[in-house]
Amino acid sequence: MNNFIDLIKREFRLFASNSVVMAIFIGAPLLYGLLLGAVYSKGKVDNLPILVIDLDDSPMSHRAIDMLNDAEVLTVTVHYDQQEVRKGIITDGYEAVVTIPYRFEADIIQKRHPEIQVEVNTANILPANYGAKAIQVALGTLNAGIEIQSLTKTGMPLTTAKESYEAFSVNYARFFNKSANYMTFLWPGVLGVIIQQVFMLAMALSFAREQEDKTFATEFYPRVRNPWYAMFIKSLPFWLMGLGVLAALWAMFPLFKVPLQVHGMGMITLLAGLIFSVTMMGISVSLAIPSQLKATEVLMVIATPSFILSGFTWPLSQMPDWVVGLANTIPLTHFLEGLRKLMFYGATLNDIWPQLSGLLYISLFFMVLNYILFKTIPRLRTK
């Protein structure tokens, strides 16, 4: 027991003496959590600048502009000619250009069906989608209003005119993130990325430092004498300190008003699975590469594309099979899918068993690999 306590104390001293590991493990989650929370805290896109080119300058075109201005998402700038429009898009960052044609009102009155041209700036898909939808709703409402008004002028009752214009109605309802809040959707997933990164990097530096300092074979391993015990001793301090990091990240949910009503045991088990699997992965790199710098570089190569490959933003079903196979070897993929189920679908522990199984298989693979590395790499063995 005394040996166990001395070894744990030694690990904490090594941790405190390494400013890089301290910054990664303690500073990075808090800093990134707050920074990214502030970035996405608004949750929804609004006041997107669009340009309306009004070539008609009539009461009807003004009515269309008013409809666009009434949309919460849009902020309208009006020009009455098309000169230097392209330059304005570049300098002012318009998300869309709406061109109301010449003789717009006259053509409507004469039933010639004029066409409003809408050009959406899709350089950034997110504001483009928000802007296009708002424009579609505004102009669609105006179009319906004009048609109904035209029918009533022929003597048709208003109720009948509405029914004649609308052959059927469509009712849209949102479920799972009903407010379509981007912060609620993205931020928890980003926190999962942070947890994966810091645990992997911290563990990658643990054994690598011992090998750099030549203390692994002389000070550490003779006292543990067992690969499994060595992995446990190196991991336990980070698991204990990780509880504080997780508590701090958990506290950020109410800070940024992100709802987190999840199945408690499911969430705890999923987090434990993620942390254990990335711990084993980090140890593998740390054992195989006896350099802190190179171990960090290798893990950064692994971790950098993990969020894109995870299927959190772009669905796995739309990726090639070989990419999906690669994504399933990364713990973050299984964690984020389980997190989505817990946060949005109200899932329980049983519902996320496929994701927990994925994390378990990854953990077992790297545990066996770590044991093999302990037994086969000469510098890790003592006489």
Q: What is the tens place of the pLDDT at every residue in 261-280?
A: 778 888 889 999 999 999 99
Residue-level pLDDT at 383: 47
Q: Report the C-alpha gap between 335 and 346 in whole angstroms.
A: 15
Residue-level pLDDT at 363: 94
Q: What DSSP string describes 33-91?
A: HHHHHHHHTT-S---EEEEEEESS-SHHHHHHHHHHHHSTTEEEEEESS-TTHHHHHHH
| Mean pLDDT confidence for 223-229 | 83
Residue-level pLDDT at 209: 77
Residue range 324-337, pLDDT digits in tens: 888 898 898 999 88
The pTM of the full predicted model, rounded to 2 decimals, is 0.76
Identify the H or E element spanning 96: strand 96-100
Residue-level pLDDT at 84: 63
